[in-house]
Amino acid sequence: MAPYVRKAFGDLLPEELYGAIGGLVLPLRHCKKQWRWLHAHIPLEEEILKAADMVFGRTEWNHAWAWAYNPRVIYRHVNELMRPEFLDAAQWSIQTCC
């Protein structure tokens, strides 16, 4: 979660996130709750990764972060099925995105 939180929120505090996530106006209490939950779970996830013998994941990004916490971990690539919304979606194109 640590790399996700850093990329998703940067160094922003909940008060700074308020109304800024993708242009959505989210209630401040929701931003605070999500921010606190994510930050509270980072130490547990780090502890689990450091102690793990094997990790399963889909991407090189997952592999890199698992290795960053535990260079001895065995990484197993799995082609996990994604939700139908992703699989059945129309192919993205720059011409149709705007």
Question: 1 with 46, same domain?
Answer: yes
Chain position carrying tokens 């990004």: 61
Question: 57 with 70, same domain?
Answer: yes
Question: 71 with 44, same domain?
Answer: no
Question: 83 with 93, same domain?
Answer: yes
Question: 33 with 72, same domain?
Answer: no
Q: Count of domains in the chain?
A: 2
pLDDT digits (tens, 9 = 90+) for 33-86: 777 888 788 888 899 999 999 999 888 988 998 999 999 999 999 887 667 776
E-only strand ranges, 8-97: 54-57, 74-77
Question: What is the span of the domain harbouring residue 64?
Answer: 53-98
Question: 90 with 67, same domain?
Answer: yes
The answer to whether the CB of 66 falls within 8 A of the CB of 57 is yes
pLDDT of residue 40: 85
